[in-house]
């Protein structure tokens, strides 16, 4: 797969910027006509030879949830490259970006047998994407759901792993505010 020039995306003077928690911020430097971070994601697909269907999946997600509403990261586990897509919606129950809506959106490309209880007050969820999932060689078999951590003095979440067999506690996460360093944040 070769990244074509027509896939390159550039920032505009109307650009919105969000950190890894999908909280908006103002950039410290001029940003118009720069590459969007999505170009790094697209290049990673080219570099790893990922199935072209990934672009259809991304387009469907952007169409359903809007541009700039998906946080992503690239992970290397041994010699395997995977991607994680994070979806935030702090409205909890009245959310517009839900697990069920994502599953409906990607259903033409990815099979998933996980049943989701949308009554949980989750504020975020994520999925891991790899070559086998994109090509249809395997189903989506796990979703990570993040619920708030009542009583915590730091913004945090409790992560649960959802599979077709069970929902189990996976991890606790804390979201620290760094005013000096923004880090590498990727938004679709």
pLDDT, residue 127, reads 98
Is residue 73 domain-resident? yes
Is residue 166 domain-resident? no
pLDDT, residue 182, reads 44
Question: In terms of C-beta distances under 8 Å and separation of at least 24 residues, what long-range contacts does 156-160 make, across chains too?
Answer: 157/123, 157/124
CB-based burial label for 31 (10 Å; 0-12, 13-18, 19+)? middle
Run means of pLDDT, 10 residues per run, the chain, 188 residues: 69 88 88 91 93 96 94 90 94 91 98 95 95 96 91 79 96 67 49
pLDDT, residue 172, reads 86
Is residue 85 domain-resident? yes
* Host domain of residue 34: 5-112+127-136
pLDDT, residue 140, reads 98
Our count of domains for the chain comes to 1
pLDDT, residue 92, reads 82
pLDDT, residue 20, reads 81
First to last CA, the chain: 20
pTM recorded for the entire structure:
0.86
pLDDT, residue 175, reads 67
Is residue 120 domain-resident? no
Is residue 56 domain-resident? yes
Contact between 176 and 13 under an 8 Å Cβ cutoff? The reply is no
């Amino acid at each position: 797969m070769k990244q074509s020039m027509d896939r390159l995306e550039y920032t505009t003077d109307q650009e919105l910027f969000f950190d890894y928690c999908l909280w908006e911020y103002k950039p410290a430097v001029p940003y118009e006509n720069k590459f969007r971070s999505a170009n790094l994601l697209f290049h990673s697909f080219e570099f790893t030879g990922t199935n072209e269907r990934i672009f259809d999946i991304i387009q469907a997600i952007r169409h359903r949830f809007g541009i700039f509403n998906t946080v992503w990261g690239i992970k290397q586990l041994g010699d395997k490259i995977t991607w994680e897509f994070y979806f935030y919606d702090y409205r909890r129950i009245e959310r517009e970006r839900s697990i069920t809506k994502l599953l409906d959106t990607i259903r033409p490309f990815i099979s998933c047998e996980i049943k989701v209880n949308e009554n949980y007050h989750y504020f975020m969820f994520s999925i891991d994407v790899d070559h086998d999932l994109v090509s249809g060689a395997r189903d989506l078999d796990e979703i990570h759901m993040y619920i708030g951590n009542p009583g915590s003095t730091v913004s945090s979440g409790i992560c649960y792993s959802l599979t077709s067999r069970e929902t189990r506690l996976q991890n606790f996460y804390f979201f620290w505010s760094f005013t000096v360093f923004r880090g590498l944040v990727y938004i679709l």
